[in-house]
A and B are shown apart, each in its own frame.
Chain A
Amino acid sequence: MLGRLTVEALPFYSWVAMGGAAVTVGGGIAVFLLITWLRAWKVLWTDWLTSVDHKKIGIMYVVLALVMLVRGFVDALMMRAQQAFSLNSEGYLPPEHFEQIFSSHGTIMIFFVAMPFLTGLINIIVPQQIGARDVAFPFLNSVSLWMTAAGAALVLISLVVGKFSQAGWTGYPPYSGVEYSPGVGVDYWLWALITSGVGSTLSGINFIVTIVKNRCPGMTFMRMPMFTWTTLCISILIAFSFPALTVVAGQLTLDRTLGFHFFTNGDGGNMMMFANLLWIWGHPEVYILILPAFGIFSEVVATFSRKRLFGYTSLVYATACIALLSFTVWLHHFFTMGSSANVNAIFGIATMIIAVPTGVKIFDWLFTMYKGRIEFHPSMVYTIGFMVTFVIGGVTGVLLALPPADYLMHNSTFLVAHFHNMLIPGALFGYFAGLNYWFPKAFGFKLDTKWGIRSFWCWIIGFYLAFMPLYVLGFKGMSRRMEHYADPTWQPYLIVAAIGALFVLCGIACIAIQLYVSARKWGSARDITGDPWNGRTLEWATSSPPAPYNFAVLPEVTDIDAFHDMKILGQAYQPPQHYEDIVMPKNTWIGPALGALAFALGFAFVWYIWWLVALCFVLSLVCVGIRASDDNSEFVLPAAEVARIERERLAQISPADMHDMHDYVPRGAASGAPLTGTV
């Protein structure tokens, strides 16, 4: 009846595991009680969970990412604490527990922090940047969100029922095969990946179509904001690479569940094939995480330098180059696995070439800042911190790209330091910059800058303290993922790294305080115009938070920085001649239902509860069938209602609230592209 699920699965075997389970269950119960106490279930269901509004879906994605960030960071803190003390001793974590922690840390940070964070920001902003009223497929968007949430729920429940994988976040066979990892851990990992991977693939398709088909009149490809460009590139990367993840996870699942021999040691399996297939997805994935952050940095640096972005065209081409090259370098993740010297050389050179377009970008941002009137808003501070720190990571990356050098540093903490040096400043700082930059757009009030700056300093100091020692330790020969060690000269570095993790903890606390403090003084930091930073792109033309339809009248665009031009020409905040009826998608319960079914399906597969697998599968097909036959999924918002909402908004905006654009009126031939129309 319950497959291999028994009472033994509950974590009464260790205090640490029980603590983790208690926190997870306690957190769930606390949220449940809070919602009940606020009597918010109905609002939550009708306004949020069933919503297909891209802005609300985006907010839910970011909330998921922040919650999972805390969970993933607790894992990091536990690892740092373990290694700080485990010189010639077991420390406080038994090996099997330590292995689960580094596996879940990587899995969570990639799949359930970075992916939902960037997908959330894209959801909130990209449709507005291209002057669209919605994404191409609002319902599909909801399905993507709930598939991702289902994957996250599978990782969370593995803490309470059963164990998580001990095979690392990349789960190489044969160790992740059923012979050496017979429990449910790897199965949890696999189903979390498959479920959220399907969600990501659907997001990718959705955003390709949105950007290609839903741009407003006049917005040619070379007038799209940089963040939209990076989104288009990563959506293509997602559509090309995530199927590889589905395939490799599916094959390992078949190996484990039905005794297939894709990656087994004997019987004609080939475990090298796993490494190849995984990294055919995995390397593009690195750029999927980083490119949107590059887009955010581009927006932030132009806005807070008060200048047009330097080298827009070169940034577009650099982004496209990186996207293309990201498919040609996957083998550098396993130089040491015995390919021939020529194969290694080709992939090494391709890897080094990627540094070129990335360097182009750094120079473009620096030249944007050059002679700009820089404003040290938290998002700008994160951007500057990124530029300085990311270059270090880039240089160590070029070092690792040399196969002979990689033979020395492979699987050492040097590698750990390198990819954290890419992903923390490169991706996470970008998302934090985006959080500070676009928060008023999503919620209608600004975030507190003081706590934003504090969070930045804690994060960057914490980052350097935590990871620079790991570079040194890598040179000293320390392997990654060590539960304990015997070399006393390593310990001081590991203690510094642990102190760094404490600084990062303060950084996360500062973000929490920032959100709390800002929400407390809501009224005083309200964003009335919808344009708190004197922004340049179209997302600042809508109200904050935007009306459900974003734009009452679709804007027309003649250049990049469309909204900046509108403000100079005095076209912003002008009521249109007449309003029109607007077609809106209806909310639907099918998105959350499919997410719940995906979760139950994954859970049933993990525990071999075959009747539940069949039931969930059939119910999912029924849901899809119902949706596929529904030709009544939209409604019309009448023009009168649109006019009422817009008049109400425009009545609040007084000329005093608007930005003074006199300084930005172009003068003379050297001032860039001339503006058409009267000034």
Chain B
Amino acid sequence: MSAATILEEEQKHALHSREFGFWIYLMTDAVIFALLFASYAVLAENSAAGPTSNDLFDLSRTAIETGLLLVSSLTFGMASIALMHDQKGRVVQWLFVTLLLGLAFLAMEMGEFGGMIEKGAGPEVSGFLSAFFTLVGTHGLHVAFGSLGIVVMIGQVLVKGLTAPVRSRLMRLGLFWHFLDIVWIGIFSAVYLPGVL
């Protein structure tokens, strides 16, 4: 075998390992979120005479956030389909749309956080708010990292083209992005919905 083919073989194996490893990484991240959810469940009623979830949560705002994030998962899916068909331009376009949706979500979330802090409902007010800001903020931080990843991957697709490593990275970034969607559904169901009921 020539050096080039053996490198290619090895690379295929390495990329498979990375995809498997990424699943395990996602699992460790899922444990982090699970414990942050548990912390929230323990502290949700501890508003310490400060504002409660009924005073603070606004379902219509959350609905828009949820819409943005769910649609961004769809558009990332479109990018993955374009990747299957080797349509480089389409991949970049859909990634860009996903990035915009992600940034819009982040902007809305920051607006929400900012509004709460302005109202005197910052994380240092009560156990409830500490747990809320940490759980939702950790999710937001992940979305920010994911957005950074999309920027890097748009660059890689444009510069390197749809090579095997780039495809693998896009696939892993997609896993990460959809994972964040699932976590958000958890946040919507366990934080916002019970909060206004």
| Chain B residues, Cβ within 8 Å of A246 | 32
Give the docked Cα–Cα distance between A634 and B124 (Å): 49
Q: Is B48 an interface residue (CB 8 A)?
A: yes
Within 8 A of A (CB), among B137-179: 148, 152, 155-156, 160, 163, 165, 169
Question: Are A205 and B48 neighbours in the complex by a CB distance under 8 Å?
Answer: no
Segment with Cβ contacts to A, from B39-47, B61-69, B103-111, B188-196: B39-47
* A contact residues around B3 at 8 Å (CB): 581, 636, 638
Interface window among B17-25, B78-86, B87-95: B17-25
Cβ of B10 < 8 Å from any Cβ of A?
yes
Q: Is A665 an interface residue (CB 8 A)?
A: no
Is B17 within 8 A of A209, CB to CB? yes
A243 touches B127 (CB 8 A): no
Partner of B21, one of A206, A243, A261, A266: A206
A243 B10 Cβ-Cβ under 8 A: no
Known contacts A260-B123, A262-B43, A269-B127; decide if A205 and B24 are in contact (CB<8 Å): yes
Q: B155: which A residues are within 8 A, CB to CB?
A: 629
Closest to B133 in A: A260
Q: Which of B7, B129, B169 contacts A634 (CB 8 A)?
A: B7
Alpha-carbon gap, A638 to B32, bound state (A): 44
B54 contacts partner chain A, Cβ-Cβ < 8 Å: no
**Cα-based distance from A268 to B3 in the complex (angstroms):** 63
Please give, as numbers and ranges, the residues of chain A lying within 8 Å of B42 by CB-CB distance. 270, 273
Q: Given the interface contacts A244-B35, A583-B6, A631-B160, does A269 sit within 8 Å of B46 by beta carbon?
A: yes
Interface string of A246-290 (1 = CB under 8 A from B): 111011001100111110101111100100010010000000000
A240 vs B25: C-alpha distance when bound (angstroms): 10
Which of chain A's residues has its CB closest to B127's CB? A268
Tell me if A261 and B127 are in contact (CB < 8 A).
yes
Q: Determine chain B's interface SS by DSSP, over half rule.
A: helix
Chain B residues lying within 8 Å of A214, measured Cβ to Cβ, are 17
Residues of A within 8 A of B7 (CB): 583, 634, 636
Q: How far is the CB of B134 from chain A (nearest CB, A)?
A: 7
Using A262-B43, A268-B126, A631-B163 as known contacts, say yes or no to A580 and B24 having CB atoms under 8 A apart: no
- Answer whether residue A35 sits at the interface, using C-beta atoms and an 8 A cutoff: no
A270 and B123: CB pair below 8 A? no
List, in ascending order, chain A residues with CB within 8 A of B128's CB.
268
The answer to whether B156 and A629 touch across the interface, beta carbons within 8 angstroms, is: yes
In the complex, the chain B residue whose C-beta lies closest to that of A209 is B21
The size of the chain A interface, using a CB distance under 8 A, is 48
Is B31's CB within 8 Å of the partner chain A? yes
Evaluate contact between B152 and A625: CB separation under 8 angstroms. Answer: yes
Please, how many residues of chain B have a CB less than 8 angstroms from a CB on the other chain?
48
Q: How far is the CB of B22 from chain A (nearest CB, A)?
A: 9
User: Who on chain B is nearest to A630 by CB?
Assistant: B165
Known contacts A243-B35, A583-B10: A260-B27 contact under CB 8 Å: no
**Contact A244:B31 (CB < 8 A) given known A260-B134, A268-B43, A628-B152:** yes
Q: Which residues of chain A have C-beta atoms less than 8 A from B156's C-beta? A: 629
Given known pairs A260-B123, A634-B10, the reply for A247 and B152 (CB within 8 Å) is no
**Contact between B6 and A580, CB atoms less than 8 A apart:** yes
B27: chain A residues at CB < 8 Å are: 239-240
Give the residues in chain B near A251, CB-CB below 8 Å. 39, 134
Contact B124 A259 (CB under 8 A): yes
* Chain A hits for B10, CB < 8 A: 583, 634
Asked whether any CB of chain B lies closer than 8 Å to the CB of A208, the reply is yes
Bound Cα distance A672, B70 (Å): 59
List, in ascending order, chain B residues with CB within 8 A of A634's CB.
Answer: 7, 10-11
A205 to B20, CA, bound (A): 10
Q: Is A213 an interface residue (CB 8 A)?
A: yes
Q: Say whether A137 faces chain B, with CB atoms less than 8 Å apart.
A: yes
Contact of A261 among B16, B31, B126, B152 (CB under 8 A): B126
| Most A-side CB within 10 Å, residue of B11, B18, B24 | B24
* A383 to B126 Cα, complex, angstroms: 53
Q: With A251-B39, A636-B3 given, is the CB distance from A261 to B17 under 8 Å? A: no
A270 touches B43 (CB 8 A): yes
| Nearest B-chain residue to A241, judged by Cβ | B31
Number of contacts between A and B (CB, 8 Å)?
A: 129
Instruction: Check B101 for interface membership: any CB of A closer than 8 A.
Output: no
Q: A251-B134, A583-B10 are in contact. Are A267 and B43 (CB under 8 A)?
A: no
> Is B58 interfacial (CB-CB < 8 Å)?
no
Interface of A, secondary structure class, is: helix
| A554 is an interface residue with CB less than 8 A from chain B | no
Asked if A243 contacts B169 (CB within 8 A), the reply is no
Q: Tell me whether A243 and B39 are in contact (CB under 8 A).
A: no
Cβ-neighbour of A267 out of B17, B21, B29, B127 (below 8 A): B127
Q: CB < 8 Å: which of A243, A250, A262 contacts B131?
A: A262
Q: Known: A273-B39, A631-B160. Contact between A137 and B17, CB under 8 A?
A: yes
Q: Which partner residue on chain A sits nearest B126 by CB separation?
A: A268
Is residue A201 within 8 Å, beta carbon to beta carbon, of the partner chain? Answer: yes
* Shortest Cβ distance from A628 into B: residue: B152
The answer to the question of A365 belonging to the interface, with a C-beta cut-off of 8 Å to chain B, is no
User: Are B32 and A243 touching (Cβ within 8 A)?
Assistant: yes
Q: Is the CB of B21 within 8 A of A136?
A: yes
- With A206-B21, A243-B28 known as contacts, the answer to whether A581 contacts B126 (CB < 8 A) is no
* Distance, CA A201 to CA B42, complexed state (A): 26
Contact with B along A187-203 (1 / 0, CB 8 A): 00000000000000100
Q: Which of B14, B28, B32 has the most CB of A within 10 A?
A: B28
Query: Does chain A have a CB within 8 A of B1?
Result: yes
The answer to whether the Cβ of B97 comes within 8 Å of any Cβ in the partner chain is no
Beta-carbon contacts of A219-256 to B below 8 Å, as 1s and 0s? 00000000000000000000110111011101100110
Chain A residues near B48: list those with CB within 8 A: 261, 266-268
Q: Is A621 an interface residue (CB 8 A)?
A: yes
CA distance A314 to B166 in the complex (A): 44
In the complex, how many angstroms separate the beta carbon of B15 from the nearest chain A beta carbon?
11
Tell me if A247 and B169 are in contact (CB < 8 A): no
Q: How far is the CB of A343 from chain B (nearest CB, A)?
A: 15
Complex formed: what's the CA distance from A629 to B160 in Å? Answer: 9
Give chain B residues whose Cβ lies under 8 Å from the Cβ of A243. 28-29, 31-32, 35
With both beta carbons as reference points, the residue of chain A lying nearest to B27 in the complex is identified as A239
User: With A243-B35, A244-B31 in contact, is A137–B130 under 8 Å at CB?
Assistant: no
The smallest beta-carbon distance between B127 and chain A, in angstroms, is 3
Q: Is B116 an interface residue (CB 8 A)?
A: no
Q: How far is the CA of A247 from the CA of B39 in the complex (A)?
A: 10
Pair A258/B124 contact, Cβ less than 8 Å: yes
B187 within 8 A of A: no
Q: Is there a chain A Cβ closer than 8 Å to B125's Cβ?
A: yes
Residues of A within 8 A of B (CB): 136-137, 201, 204-206, 208-209, 212-214, 239-240, 242-244, 246-248, 250-251, 254-255, 258-262, 264, 266-270, 273, 277, 280, 580-581, 583, 621, 625, 628-629, 631, 634, 636, 638
A-B contact pairs, 22 of them (CB 8 A): A137-B18, A209-B21, A239-B27, A248-B35, A250-B134, A251-B39, A254-B123, A260-B123, A260-B134, A261-B124, A261-B125, A262-B130, A268-B127, A268-B128, A269-B46, A580-B1, A581-B1, A581-B3, A629-B155, A631-B160, A631-B163, A634-B10
Closest 3 CB pairs of A and B: A268-B127, A268-B46, A268-B48
Extra inter-chain contacts (19) besides given A209-B24, A259-B124, CB under 8 Å = A137-B18, A209-B20, A240-B27, A240-B28, A243-B28, A243-B29, A243-B35, A254-B123, A255-B130, A261-B129, A262-B39, A262-B130, A267-B125, A268-B48, A581-B1, A581-B3, A628-B152, A629-B155, A631-B163
